[in-house]
Amino acid sequence: MAKFDLNDDGFVVIVGSGAGGGTLGNELAQKGIKVVVLEAGARNEIQDFVNDEWNSFTRLAWKDMRTTSGSWQVARDFPNLPAWIVKSVGGSTVHWAGASLRFEEHEFKIKTAYGDIAGANLLDWPITLAEMEPWYAKAEFKMGTTRTNGIPGLPGNNNFKVMEAGARKLGYKQVHTGRMSINSQPRDGRGSCQQIGFCFQGCKSGAKWSTLYTEIPKGEATGNLEVRPNSIAVRIEHDAAGKVNGVVYIDGEGKTQKQKARVVAVAGNSLESPRLLLNSHSSMFPDGLANSSGQVGRNYMRHMTGSVYAVFEKPVHMYRGTTMAGIIMDEARHDPKRGFAGGYEMETLSLGLPFMVAFLNPGAWGRSFTTAIDGYANMAGMWLVGEDLPQETNRVTLDPVVKDTNGMPVASVHYDDHANDAAMRNHAYRQGAAVYEAVGAIRTFPTPPYPSTHNLGTNRMSEKPRDGVVNKYGQTHDIKNLFVSDGSQFTTSAACNPTLTIVTLAIRQADHIAGAMQKGEI
């Protein structure tokens, strides 16, 4: 494995090792470009994962302080945990569910497709589905996504069978075990899914794609990639000409280091990435880096979400097997007749008993709650995930008071549900309950949103520099050797899970960065 010099200024320095950063790092390394990846978390490997929700959360989750405000229920239920993401090498690809869906064509241009919606800050992406298709294909091949490249779908577990039976009775047509980046047969040196469950706690069999044991070791094998765990980026620095030239970070021993850089790519997820840009303010850039538009941190999206759980007369054991291998896609279309713009997916979901009691109805107690939990073995569950609309006032800012252990202001996350989000959630709750009632559910539970797993949009892509932070390659409009490589680039959220699109953009970005470096543009 490569060990690079702090003072060598020839590298691409990437902050974050997840879907965006880990993929970008390997793609660049394969092209012969030297890369240093700074990862805030430790290097937990497969053997360190545990099938135990709280124990795993303690080891893997990003638990550093954050603050919240706004009308979203997460601010009330989990005021210091707005997001459930991972702080460990591999980032949130360690705990992601594996769902890998492409955007619909209209989801790259919703300002055109939906028209103006009051209170929303809609914008078309500067790229189209047609431009993305060849890159999506590369991502699906890399990740081994089922139902692409001739890879069969995963087998359905009990939780899927219940959802599927209800969906068929309701007349839904697009129902299957999903496009999942989880091996349904051995591939790419990894085995097939053992139906362990605990996909969110790190895959013990390695069947699920994660940068931790795919992109990162492949990049390291080239000798061009070094991952530095326990390295918390605190500031990006620039030269007198306004080009970035290095990243200051705190290493595992608490020492301040600076890694010089030719190019910097930020991929710390949509709360940390804008925080890092804002915390990097200087006399030349008093509002933070790449922020001449004032859009850094704005347009925070977290998807319309919610869950429906249902108790049946007989056992389901929903926790057995792949957590999210099951989807109903019929409601993902844009059909304003339903009373909202955009659409949503219904995907199987289960929680173990410890997380079920924490999330089913936060704050609830007494027999209404405990009789629901008594039905745990007879429960089926689904997650509702749909497009939420960008709003300028939904944003990540630097908390004016609260600082982290390194003295840096923490991220403060403000989110108000748009009326469109609320209308979609209510529709989704009704349809989810109807699916289960069609196969005999005794009780259904409209479960409120969990801390956000899909954090998007806070450094959004735009055609014009005044509308967003980065261009169609994730290159910041203001600083040509500074890139954003995670979901914070998303102009709008689309209905589906974001990881496939993040990986796709990273592969495409690597091609752009390599070309620009070769031409001496950066």
Partner 1 sequence: MREVDRRSKIDRRKFLTTAAAAPAAVVAVTTGLSVDGAWADNAQALKPETMKTLARVARDVYPHDHLADQYYIAAVIPWDAKAASDPQVKALIEQGVALLNELALARYKSPYAAVAWEEQRVALLREIEQTEFFGKVRGDLLVSLYNNHDVWPKFGYEGSSAEHGGYINRGFNDIDWLS
What is the binding site for partner 1 (CB under 8 A)?
A: 50-52, 54, 155-158, 161-162, 165, 193-198, 204-205, 314-317, 319-321, 352-354, 357-358, 365-367, 369-370, 373-374, 376-378, 439
**Least gap, CB of 9 to partner 1 (angstroms):** 44
Output 255 or 367, the one with its CB closest to partner 1: 367
Output 196 or 234, the one with its CB closest to partner 1: 196
Output 30 or 158, the one with its CB closest to partner 1: 158
**Least gap, CB of 187 to partner 1 (angstroms):** 17
Tokens representing 103? Answer: 């955007």
- The string over 205-229, giving b where at least 16 C-beta atoms fall within 10 Å of a residue's C-beta and e elsewhere, is ebbbbbbbbbbbebbbebebbbbbb
**Least gap, CB of 347 to partner 1 (angstroms):** 17
**Least gap, CB of 92 to partner 1 (angstroms):** 20
User: Nearest-CA neighbor of 480 among 467, 470, 490, 488?
Assistant: 470
Output 91 or 166, the one with its CB closest to partner 1: 166
Tokens representing 330? Answer: 């019929």
Output 156 or 342, the one with its CB closest to partner 1: 156
**Least gap, CB of 354 to partner 1 (angstroms):** 5
Output 315 or 339, the one with its CB closest to partner 1: 315
How do beta strands 256-260 and 244-250 pair? antiparallel
Beta strands in 215-323 (DSSP E): 225-228, 232-238, 244-250, 256-260, 263-266, 304-311
Angle at 50 between CA 47 and CA 51, to 5 degrees: 130
Output 119 or 354, the one with its CB closest to partner 1: 354
User: Nearest-CA neighbor of 212 among 187, 184, 190?
Assistant: 190
The owner of tokens 């300028």 is 392
Q: By the 8 A CB rule, do 273 and 289 touch?
A: no
**Least gap, CB of 368 to partner 1 (angstroms):** 11
* Close Cβ partners of 391 (under 8 Å, ≥ 6 residues apart): 119, 120, 121, 299, 416, 418
Please tell me the distance from the alpha carbon of residue 41 to that of residue 56, in angstroms, as a whole number: 14
**Least gap, CB of 37 to partner 1 (angstroms):** 28
First to last CA, the chain: 26
